[in-house]
Amino acid sequence: YPAGRPDHIRDCSLMFFFFVFFFAADPAVISPQDPTLVIGSSLTATCSVNSDLHLKAEDLYWTLNGRRLPPESYKVLNGTTLSVALANLNGSRQQSGDNLVCHSRDGSILAGSCLYVGLPPEKPVNITCWSKNMKDLTCKWAPGTEGETYLHTNYTLKYKLRWYGRDNTCQEYRTAGQYSCHIPKDLALFTPYEIWVEASNRLGVAVSEVVMLDILDVVTTDPPADVTVSRVGDLEDQLSVRWSSPPALKDFLFQAKYQIQYRVEDSAEWKVVDDVGNQTSCRLAGLRPGTVYFVQVRCNPFGIYGSKKAGIWSDWSNPTAASTPRSDRVPGVCDPKSGEQNTTLRRELKQFFGWVKKHAYGCSNLSIKLYDQWRVWLQKSHKTRNQVGKDPSPIPYRGRRAGSSGPSGPGGTARTPPPPPTHSSAAGIGRNRLGR
């Protein structure tokens, strides 16, 4: 049996091995012995008893997987031979075969046979491969449209250099799951490989389509190292994320792009920032004050030695946690109601980020500069609003001009804060920053 074969699929053969071992002469013989059949087939089996046992055919009965078969399926062929007819057979309940057993009247086992009932394999599909840091190659595949054959099916991954060389067979199976194989070393660069998978069982062999690939086109790497997340001064809605390039590829000529995903502590939903580019730092903005965030980073190495392929994303780094500062803003007696303030802030945020999302977003320097300028303006705006309500100095009454629409009486006309940024003003900020 192949190494690592599970014990539960050896039951049929082992049971009859021990039975024969304890009997010098076979008490009975079943024919056919260990047949292989396609699902839906019919079978007639016979049990012929050794004459030395002084048993008659009428003293025998059959079981299949421990269940006694009905007498109407039996037929006495002669004084020592009893047959059983099985029709429309289902797939074997275990890959080692079903147990068809001939018993004497007292229940003793006289002989047994393994029935292998299943389907021939289909050609494997969806072969995908990746190389970790250009040192090895791992491939996965799917077993075919049906998948289940009800029989023990072997899968063999083979590979060779495209234009020369002999066939090689992968040896390390199940490294990345059930249908996978790992080639740990001795791989050539700058030369394409042909890779295919063969599936075989008792009913036949099926071969996949041949996949051609260059190791440089399927490189992935370890997650980015040294991921740190820290606060940005006292800004309560931002965090700074920094990381290092994958160390295993530091000596190779390649480009890299990164993705960040983050979530709040009490949520399972990740938000992805996928426009980081080849930077190794990023500022996350628009976060909730006083909140713990978990952050992960992954890397896609592409263009290794001039490869034109898109590259394969690494696994995510381990989560790194940090919290944003708590907001120190305390509403005063003359401040707007918190609901009104939040509504105004949401409207201003929505207006600003709508423009940023359209023109410059994510970790780009332009978007961060725009965001910082907008925050400065917003803080000045809120300060101006609060000072208007808290100014203790009296304002002289100037009266009301004829036809004017301003308020009359003590208090005069209030100073109006500047309007929130519009698309045109935000765009102007961007042009000014770019112009510098």
Reply yes or no on whether the pLDDT at 429 is more than 50.
no
pLDDT score, position 33: 95
Pairing status of strand 225-231 against strand 219-220? unpaired
Predicted pLDDT of residue 335:
43
Q: What is each CA distance from 149 to 98, 189, 203, 250, in whole angstroms?
A: 14, 37, 10, 46
Residue 24: pLDDT band with limits 50, 70, 90: very low
Q: What is the residue type of 407?
A: P
Q: Report which DSSP code applies to 395.
A: -
Contact 29, 111 (CB under 8 A): yes
Q: Do domains 7-118 and 221-323 have the same CATH topology?
A: yes
Domain 221-323: top CATH class: mainly beta
Mean pLDDT of 67-79: 95
Query: Residue 273 and residue 276: Cα distance in Å, rounded?
Result: 7
Q: Confidence band (pLDDT; 50, 70, 90) for 303?
A: confident
* More reliable by pLDDT, 68 or 380: 68
Label the pairing between strands 281-284 and 239-244.
antiparallel
List alpha helices for 3-146, DSSP H: 11-21
What is the spatial distance between Cα 199 and Cα 123, in angstroms, rounded to a whole number?
7
Name the CA radius of gyration of the chain, rounded: 38
Angle between helices 365-390 and 423-435 (to 10 degrees): 120
**How sure is the predictor about 317, in pLDDT bands with cuts at 50, 70 and 90?**
very high
Q: pLDDT by residue (tens digit) across 252-285?
A: 656 788 999 999 998 999 999 987 888 899 999 9
Size of the chain, expressed as the number of residues it contains: 436
Question: What pLDDT, on a 0 to 100 scale, did the predictor assign at position 370?
Answer: 62
> What's the confidence (pLDDT) of residue 274?
83
pLDDT at 36 over 60: yes
Q: What is the mean pLDDT of residues 64-92?
A: 94
| 48-50-54 Cα angle (round to 5) | 110
Confidence bin at 192 (pLDDT 50/70/90): very high
**CA atoms within 13 Å, Cβ hemisphere of 418:** 12
Q: What is the pLDDT of residue 349?
A: 64
For the stretch 358-372, pLDDT in tens is 444 456 555 555 666
Determine which of 10-24, 44-58, 294-308, 315-329 has the lowest per-residue pLDDT on average: 10-24
For range 226-230, the mean pLDDT: 95
Can you name the CATH fold of 7-118?
A: Immunoglobulin-like (2.60.40)
Whether the pLDDT of residue 395 is over 50: the answer is: no
CATH superfamily of the 125-218 domain: Immunoglobulins (2.60.40.10)
Specify the pTM.
0.65
Identify any residues that bridge with 294 across adjacent strands, giving them in sequence order.
Answer: 263, 321
What is the average pLDDT score of the chain?
A: 78
Domain boundaries, the chain: 7-118, 125-218, 221-323, 329-388+416-436
Q: Is the backbone of residue 347 left (phi > 0), alpha (psi -120 to 50) or beta?
A: alpha
Residue of higher predicted confidence among 192 and 163: 192
pLDDT computed for residue 63 by the predictor: 96
